[in-house]
Amino acid sequence: MRTQARMADSLLRGVGGRTVLLQMPAPAVPGDPGEQLGLAVPQFQDVALGPVVFRKVRAQTGTADSPKEARYELLVSATAVGGLVSSLGYAAAETLFAQAAGVVIDGKTFGITWCASAEAFGEVYLYRLGLRGAVADFL
């Protein structure tokens, strides 16, 4: 592990780092006739992801008729993401987040809208995820 990744992990833990659950589709069961016909209910597995920092992004202004949805951001340790990418067999972190069904934080599910990485000296040390969720969920 490089110095930048260790520093990012320490900073994430120091500013209230926590663990969240990344909802991933469960692998298909080979030979299951119900699944082959599309009759099976999709299953998900929750994978722990941490340290992370969850924060609200500055709200955009909307009109009274169409208020803007609350937006959130999740800062994720690159070392944690690297471990998940290799253990789940994905080629890249972006693919992992694109396949995820959402992120569960305090019992509420947020959808992932975008993913960006922060690099130093050619190595990723942090991932930023844009999250969306219903405003009513946070009241």
pLDDT, one tens digit for every residue, the chain (139 residues): 577 777 777 777 777 778 999 999 887 677 777 777 777 777 888 999 989 999 888 766 655 555 666 789 999 998 889 888 888 888 899 999 999 999 999 989 999 999 999 998 888 989 999 998 754 444 4
Domains of the chain, residue spans: 3-26+41-59+68-138
Place of tokens 């599309």: 38
Question: Shortest CA distance to 102 belongs to which of 61, 64, 137?
Answer: 137
Distance between CA atoms of residues 26 and 43, nearest Å: 5
CA distance 89 to 107: 27
pTM recorded for the entire structure:
0.78
pLDDT for the residue 134:
53
